[in-house]
Structure 1
Amino acid sequence: MNRFPSRLLPLAGLLTVEIALGAGLFVVAFAIFFYLSRVVFVQHSMALDNWAAGVVDRWRHAAPGLTAPVRFVTFFASLPFLLPAGIVVPLLLRWAGRPRAAQELVVAMLGGVLLNQLLKWYFGRPRPSNALLQSLGLSFPSGHAMLGMTFYGGLAWVLARYFGRRGWAVPLLLWVGLIGLTRVYLHVHYATDVLAGFAGGAGWLVVCRAGLRLFRKEEGEVLGE
């Protein structure tokens, strides 16, 4: 009879403001992802996608020189960049004496890649036919948007949590938003793909963080910490 309350006490210790905010973010991210999936695959609406494509096309026609810097920006959430960055950054974190931060970033990235591929396979949406940049694979949700949110959002969390650098969160998240915009500009993704990628990445970060926290707490109990 005494074991049940004793099991509840550690869980009650997790009910902090941080967890409450994380739960709220997850609910919002899930709701956005669910809504976008219904718009695209149930209602078959292209209204948002067509409007966004028209906006970026006007930008490109007004300033043709934008295409080169857009291609440069989009590289920073591509596999050739994220793969080495996903190795080098955790190594630097370990060297800085933050092995837990390194573990969090590695787990977030590996899980994000797997989840993104599973979602792409499940929804099976083809890419736009008028892409300005050759890209392989399916379209929904955008891998650049989802993995960009996972990597840069995870890095923002690590800098704030372990180094007290909360001011980096805004520029890193703005950078993610800019990368997502490049995918629409280059017509390699629809706007709904990018928004779903942002939502999926944010939701996964919350789940990953909560899962690691629970695992470490249980591990600490087993080790008697």
Structure 2
Amino acid sequence: MKNLTARLLALFSLLTLEALVVGGVFVGAALGFFYLTRVVFVAHSVQFDTWAFRQLDAVRTAAPGLTGPVRSLTFFASLPWLVAAGIGIPVLMRWRGHRREALEVFLAVVGAALLNQLLKTHFHRVRPSSALYFQPGLSFPSGHAMIGLALYGCLAWILWRHRRHPAWAVLLLAFAMGIGLTRVYLHVHYATDVAAGFAGGLLWLILLRIALRFFWREEQQVMQ
């Protein structure tokens, strides 16, 4: 009974303004992901995807020189980069003595990658036939958007949490969003794939943070 009371008190202690905001974001991301699955796989609507392609095609026509930089930007959520960053950044953090942060980043990337593959296999949406270059794999949700947001969002949260360079946290999130847009620009993903990827990345980050927070709390209690 005492253990149950202690756990309930620990749970209520987490109901801060921050927790309420995070909870609201979680619910919004979950509803957004669910809505996108209805749009794509139930209503079979292509209105948003067609509109997004049209807007970015107009940008590419007006400034064809952007395609090179866009392809360079999209690399920073590609498989080779994510493998290198998902291992290299945690190793560097661990070496600098940031054990918890290293684990957060590693799990953010690995977990998002595994979840993304499960979702792609489940929904099995084929990529756009108008892609500017060949990209293997399935389309929904976008791995670049989902895993990229998990990586850069996790780094942004760590910087924000430690109150170090908050402007960099905002820039990291903008960088992740920009990578998502490159996928639509290059026609290797539909806009709904990218939006679903962002929603999935947010969901995973929040679930991971909650799980790790309870884990660290339990670890501290055991050590005491």
Same fold judged by TM-score > 0.5?
Answer: yes
What's the CA shift string for 1:31-73, capped at 9, x where partnerless? 1111111100011000000001111111112221111111101
SS in 1 for 2:162: helix
Identify the residue that residue 217 of structure 2 maps to in structure 1. Answer: 217
After TM superposition, list the pairs within 5 Å mapping 1:1-225 onto structure 2: 1-162=1-162, 164-221=164-221, 223-225=222-224
Q: Distance in 1 between matches of 2:35 and 2:45?
A: 12
What's the CA shift string for 1:122-174, capped at 9, x where partnerless? 10000000111211110000000001100000010111223633221211111
Q: Which amino acid aligns with 1:19?
A: A
Q: Give the number of equivalent residue pairs.
A: 224
Q: Which amino acid aligns with 1:185?
A: Y
1:152·1:176 contact (CA, 8 Å) conserved in 2? Answer: yes
Q: Distance in 2 between matches of 1:201 and 1:178?
A: 15
Q: Distance in 2 between matches of 1:93 and 1:26?
A: 27
Q: Which amino acid aligns with 2:68?
A: A
Unmatched 5+ residue regions in structure 2?
none
- How many Å apart are 1:224 and its aligned residue? 4.3
* Identical-residue share of aligned pairs (%): 56
Q: Which amino acid aligns with 1:100?
A: R
SS in 2 for 1:136: coil
SS in 1 for 2:128: coil
Runs of 4+ in 1 over 6 A off after TM superposition: none
Q: Distance in 1 between matches of 2:150 and 2:22?
A: 15
Structure 1, 50-59 or 143-152: larger mean CA deviation: 50-59
Q: TM-score, normalised by structure 1?
A: 0.95
- How many Å apart are 1:8 and its aligned residue? 1.4
Q: Distance in 2 between matches of 1:53 and 1:72?
A: 20
Q: TM-score, normalised by structure 2?
A: 0.95
| Residue 86 to residue 108, structure 1, CA distance change in 2 (3 Å) | same
| Residue 2 to residue 62, structure 1, CA distance change in 2 (3 Å) | closer
Unmatched 5+ residue regions in structure 1?
none
- How many Å apart are 1:99 and its aligned residue? 0.7
Q: Distance in 2 between matches of 1:215 and 1:177?
A: 30
SS in 2 for 1:198: helix
SS in 1 for 2:138: coil
- How many Å apart are 1:3 and its aligned residue? 4.0
1:101·1:162 contact (CA, 8 Å) conserved in 2? Answer: no
Q: Distance in 2 between matches of 1:194 and 1:180?
A: 6
